[in-house]
Structure 1
Amino acid sequence: MAQEVGYTTMESPIGPLLLASTEEGLCYIDFANEEEGLPRLVRWCKKTLLGVTPEKNEAINEQAKLQLEQYFAGERTEFDVPTVLYGTPFQKTVWTELTNIPYGETRSYKDIAIAIGAAKAVRAIGGANNRNPIPVIIPCHRVVGSNGALVGYGGGLSIKEFLLSHEEGPLFAHATSNQAVR
């Protein structure tokens, strides 16, 4: 049976987002409106899901959209929306490790490499980060250079800077005292 992919768009403080989900969960986020992002989603689906054509579907993305709205409103520090990852085993390992970086904190590419037992794979960590299909929810924005510099981000460094700054805002003070909404 062919996998179905439903997509929708939403507005956010970092601009429009295109979300796509299967029945299993959220599988794709693009920093784009429908006009700009849909062709990329179609290409991603053809490559990743063997030719599936995405269809507009608000309902299948409702939970992801709500959780992202809560995150941007400062009401959520962790996501629990179901996700489904399409990538190599190495990429999936990296993306899973990224979800262990706490809200309001950062890790270096080297930290991630060490955490997954591949200390010499720093460049490969960067490559996997760059191919993260679910940015924000899989927080690749929390990965920085070993000197703390903001390096590389698929949505652009200004979005990475916004997300990190957002996580250091008023809610972060509550998160460190375990009073944050999760």
Structure 2
Amino acid sequence: MKLILVRHAKSSWDDLTLDDHDRPLNERGEAGAERMGAWLADRGHVPKTLLCSTAKRAEMTAKILMEQFADKPVTDYISGLYHATPDTILAKIRNAPAGDLMVVGHNPGMASFADLISETRPKHERFASFPTTSTLISEVHLDSWKDLKFGDARLINFVVPRDLKVLL
């Protein structure tokens, strides 16, 4: 099964009266999410299930990604993924149904989780910071997500939006 981890796209700070949970994407974020979704779809990295934080910027990222997929994943919006720790992310994944899975979340938890879940780190200078719209595609040899442990995921690819200008 594939495990696809995505940090939400670039958010807007135009309205400083908004609660952090309610901040939308900015134009750059929307464009980055669209490019990432097209790249994922073009390479067959389309999940069966998508787990997403309930923060507006994460929900918008997931929606834009899914617009690029011919087959739409079953989506579960989970408040516990908002600024989740690696242990919380792992617990939410363990409750997911079998099949390729995407998680859309936030830093610092997403960066830490990506590092902990991977057998080996990608040789990408941006991996440690896991910038907005960063995407880690990995594979696990399990029949059920309930058995997932840190270190189980084998790297397939790691990309950031800036990379896609060259890759597309």
Relative to the length of structure 2, the TM-score reads: 0.28
Relative contact order, CA 8 A, sep 6+: which one is greater?
2
Which is higher, the Rg of structure 1 or of structure 2? 1
Q: Which has the higher strand share?
A: 2
Q: Which has the higher helix share?
A: 1
